[in-house]
């Protein structure tokens, strides 16, 4: 698990020795204090990323109403001397209890900040989605797997879908609206040029790379579920989601582009089948994300927000599950 530098800024009316032992029972690798020119006290704590959330919650509970109080969380590339391994003589039961109590993930605030930053509708997001669509369309028409994979590498679809799962886990309606807006914008940015490509160039629906996107199989469901889990674990584990994003893009971008091209070329029945595959994958990615965040213990800080989030996650889980069952029923009855 990576290390974080937590800087806690306290106003001058709070002395350092007035701070309760908030770091007690926490694995603080190193700590020191410094002063701002305006008499503010700054505490610097080097701690493992999985310890950040509970420590932030303690300081928030103690100082959230204090004017001039701030917390800054920074990633640490390296730390010397390296932390020593735990003593082998430690009681096994105690070690097991510590392992069970550890979050083994980054803090809620870090997770929220990273995802919220990644769902902004910017020129870069629009350009990357558009370019990914063009490359995917060429790969599908040429039946070139390498080109299709290249399109997945640049497709920015991971964060908006993980954000939808996180918003229901935290009961955050603002984040849900933003993620939905970004997802819809991304999908439209992919569909419109795909339709134009299909209209102008025409396509052969019997090409294996396109025909495979007009059928829903159990393997597609498993792939989308695995992609959703992997994407959520990538964010909560504090690791790069670049490669994991390729998995989510594989589940979403090729069938989305295939839908647009089939629609533009006039193959309406096949385009509906490709669209059903897109919907199935979106459902599976979000269902897996909600379940993963629940297992990882991603909750709001306060108990009343936690109750709201619990109801939101339960409702979302039931909704995604119901939709998935309906689509699987269609699959097993060979309607598509």
DSSP string, 155-174: ---HHHHHHHHHHHHHT-HH
Q: Residues 183, 274: one domain?
A: yes
Determine, yes or no, domain membership for 147.
yes
Considering the domain architecture, whether residues 299 and 151 belong to the same structural domain is answered as: yes
Whether residues 141 and 57 share a domain: the answer is no
Examine residue 101 and state whether it is found in any structural domain, yes or no: no
277 and 133 inside one domain: yes
Backbone angles phi, psi at 139, to 5 degrees: -65, -40
CA dist 318 → 212, 216, 224, 324 (Å): 29, 22, 17, 10
Judge whether 247 and 227 are in contact, CB under 8 Å: yes
Question: What's the pLDDT score for residue 245?
Answer: 66
Does any domain span residue 57?
yes
Total domains in the chain come to: 2
Render pLDDT for 118-168 as a digit per residue (tens, 0 to 9).
788 999 999 999 999 999 999 999 999 889 888 888 888 888 888 888 888
**Residue 85 placed within a domain:** no
Residue 99 inside a domain? The answer is no
Question: What is the spatial distance between Cα 166 and Cα 289, in angstroms, rounded to a whole number?
Answer: 7
Answer yes or no: are the C-beta atoms of 33 and 25 closer than 8 Å.
Answer: no
Coil, helix or strand at residue 104: coil
Provide the pLDDT for residue 302.
Answer: 61
The sign of the torsion formed by the CA atoms of 56, 60, 63, 69 equals: positive
Query: What whole-number distance in Å separates Cα of residue 25 and Cα of residue 115?
Result: 30
DSSP code for 34? E
The domain boundary, picked from 61, 80, 99, lies at 80
Q: Which of 80, 100, 119 is the last residue of a domain?
A: 80
pLDDT tens-place string over residues 160-214: 888 888 888 888 888 889 999 999 999 999 999 999 999 998 889 999 999 988 8
Residues 213 and 155 in one domain: yes
Q: What is the pLDDT along the chain (336 residues), one digit of tens a residue?
A: 678 888 888 877 665 555 656 666 667 788 887 877 677 788 888 888 887 888 888 888 777 777 778 888 888 888 777 766 655 444 544 444 444 444 577 787 888 888 888 788 999 999 999 999 999 999 999 999 889 888 888 888 888 888 888 888 888 888 889 999 999 999 999 999 999 999 998 889 999 999 988 888 788 888 888 888 888 887 787 665 555 667 677 788 899 999 999 999 999 999 998 998 898 888 888 888 888 888 887 877 665 566 766 777 777 778 888 888 887 777 666 544
Q: Are residues 310 and 198 in the same domain?
A: yes
| Residue 86: inside a domain | no
Question: What residue numbers bound the domain in which 299 lies?
Answer: 108-332
Residue ending a domain, among 62, 80, 98, is: 80
Q: Tell me: do 112 and 213 sit in the same domain.
A: yes
Do 36 and 113 have their domain in common? no
Residues 74 and 120 in one domain: no
Residues 64 and 129 in one domain: no
3-class SS letters over 53-99: HHHHHHHHHHHCCCCCCEEEEEEECCCCCCCCCCCCCCCHHHHHHHH
In this structure, are 68 and 123 located in the same domain?
no
Residue 76 sits at φ, ψ, to 5 deg, of -115, 120
Instruction: Give the CATH number of the domain where residue 38 resides.
Output: 3.30.70.120
User: Is 217 found in the same domain as 120?
Assistant: yes
User: Element (H or E) spanning 42, and its range?
Assistant: strand 41-48
């Amino acid at each position: 698990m990576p290390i974080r530098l937590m800087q806690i800024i306290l106003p001058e009316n709070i002395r350092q020795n007035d701070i309760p032992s908030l770091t007690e029972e926490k694995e603080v690798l190193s700590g020191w204090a410094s002063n701002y020119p305006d008499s503010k006290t700054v505490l610097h704590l080097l701690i493992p990323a999985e310890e950040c959330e509970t420590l932030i919650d303690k300081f928030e509970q103690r100082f959230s109403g204090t004017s001039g109080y701030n917390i800054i969380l920074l990633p640490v590339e390296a730390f010397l001397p390296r932390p020593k391994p735990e003593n082998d003589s430690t009681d096994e039961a105690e070690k097991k209890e510590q392992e069970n109590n550890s979050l083994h993930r980054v803090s809620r605030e870090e997770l929220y900040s990273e995802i919220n930053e990644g769902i902004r509708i910017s020129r870069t997001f629009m350009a990357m989605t558009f370019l990914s669509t063009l490359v995917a369309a060429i790969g599908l028409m040429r039946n070139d797997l390498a080109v299709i994979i290249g399109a997945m590498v640049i497709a920015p679809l991971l964060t908006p879908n993980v954000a939808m799962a996180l918003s229901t886990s935290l009961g955050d309606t603002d984040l849900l609206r933003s993620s939905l807006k970004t997802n819809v914008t991304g999908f439209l940015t992919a569909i419109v040029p795909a339709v134009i490509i299909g209209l102008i160039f025409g396509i052969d629906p019997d090409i294996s790379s396109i025909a495979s996107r007009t059928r829903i199989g159990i393997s597609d469901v498993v792939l989308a579920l695995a992609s959703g889990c992997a994407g959520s674990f990538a964010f909560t584990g504090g690791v790069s989601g670049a490669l994991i994003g390729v998995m989510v893009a594989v589940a979403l971008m090729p069938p989305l582009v295939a839908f647009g091209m089939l629609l533009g070329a006039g193959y309406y029945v096949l385009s509906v089948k490709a669209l059903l595959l897109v919907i199935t994958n979106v459902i599976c990615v979000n269902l897996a994300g909600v379940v993963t965040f629940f297992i990882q213990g991603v909750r709001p800080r306060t108990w009343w927000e936690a109750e709201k989030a619990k109801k939101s996650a339960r409702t979302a889980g039931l909704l995604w599950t119901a939709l998935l069952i309906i689509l699987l029923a269609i699959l097993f009855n060979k309607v598509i």
